[in-house]
Amino acid sequence: MNFFDNLKMALFSIKSNRMRSFLTMLGIIIGISSVITILGVGGGARAYMMGSIEQVGASTVQVTVNDKEATDSDYITFDDIEALRGKVEHLKYISPQIGVWGSTTFKKKTNDAIIYGCSDSFNYFMGTDMVSGRFFTEEDYLAARNVAVIDEIAAMQFFGNTNVSGMTLELEVWGERMKIKIVGVAKSQQGNFYYEGMPFYFYMPITTLFNNTGTDPTLSSIYLMADDPAFATTMGNSARNVLESRHGNRGRDVYRPESLMGEVDQMNSMLDIITTFISAVAAISLLVGGIGVMNIMLVAVTERTREIGIRKSLGAKTKSIMGQFLTESAILSLIGGLIGLVLGILGAMGVSSLVSGMAGGTITPSITINHILLALGFSCSVGIFFGIYPARKAAKLNPIEALRHE
């Protein structure tokens, strides 16, 4: 009996026991669909995040102060920033940045706030999309004006719409209160996702933040963007040299320039670990499905013992009997894998659409030909692996005893 004869018998057996065959395949279907959904959504989310970061990450360097080595006189000042503008080659944008917790109040409604003190150039590093109004200007920054950009969630929660330029609200930072005029509304970092009590995001001139709180205007980190990604490392090293020369601390490892692409690589590795772990958990259902295949094939061997005896008495070889049952178990798993693949693709599209709405961007599921081949190959392998024992049991039946079986 050749492969095509085994295939016809396998399909006939599956068709004759449709419900049993479907329940047998269910574990395979769930396992494959789960893995495909996770890989598709994970790949799409990774591409979305990496694309957003890499737009500026390849050219961006963050210079941080090593707190373990630094003294009070080593921290970066506004004068240092102006010096860097004139002395560092290939420097396109530079921005100080400090993030602080505070609170915001409008008409007796108060909410937590995360406030970024920065310069007008910070918009280029964050890639902030404006919903309405504008980002604050260099004039606002230099004059330390009480202006800010708020996120769209804050605008909707406080004002009910995003056209709120010119409106005022109150911020409290480090125990100091200040009235702020809104000049623009930015797309939220959380997309459209919101929960009660979630902090609102604000961007304001760092000069304003220091002036209103009476804080010493020194910084532990600044962002620099090169005019070409090829010069990012050179730019970062040059900035460190300028700072060391101005503060007289050369050789003490006070300033550390780090490319944001390093953070991208770390994030990529983290996503790989998380996706692999979740996929491994989902793949456990494939093992459960494989056990189900083995169980049902053992039942099939018992039900068809007399048939096996007749075939062996007519000269069927052990290899032929074994091939028949292995083909049937492989076909069961392969059909389950195909159904799971379709459901997994549909699931990935559905979850990606849901996540896109929450993130405020477009996440496209990433399902490659390798994912498809892996899913189908793995499901077929599960069927063959767990079908070996029942197939061997069928092939080793004594033909005389098999013919006597009722």
Position 363 scores a pLDDT of 76
Half-sphere exposure of 273 (CA within 13 A, CB side): 6
Residues 6+ apart with CB under 8 A from 14: 21, 328, 331, 332, 335
Amino acid identity of 305?
Answer: T
CA distances (Å), 204 to each of 48, 147, 176, 403, in order? 27, 6, 15, 88
Q: In whole angstroms, what is the distance from residue 253 CA to residue 371 CA?
A: 46
Position 51 scores a pLDDT of 64
Task: Report the predicted TM-score, pTM, of the whole model to 2 decimal places.
Answer: 0.61
Position 191 scores a pLDDT of 65
Q: In whole angstroms, what is the distance from residue 82 CA to residue 150 CA?
A: 27
User: Which of 117, 293, 120, 102 is closest to 200 using CA atoms?
Assistant: 102
Burial of 396 (0-12, 13-18, 19+ CB in 10 A): exposed
What residue has token string 């090593």?
Answer: 66
> What's the average pLDDT block by block, 10 residues per block, for the chain (406 residues)?
67 76 81 83 75 67 91 92 92 91 89 92 81 93 94 90 92 90 88 76 93 83 89 92 94 88 70 75 72 76 69 70 77 85 89 70 77 79 76 67 55
Position 289 scores a pLDDT of 75
Q: In whole angstroms, what is the distance from residue 207 CA to residue 230 CA?
A: 32
Position 404 scores a pLDDT of 57
Position 168 scores a pLDDT of 93
84: number of Cβ within 10 Å: 21
Residues 34, 339 contacting (CB under 8 angstroms):
no
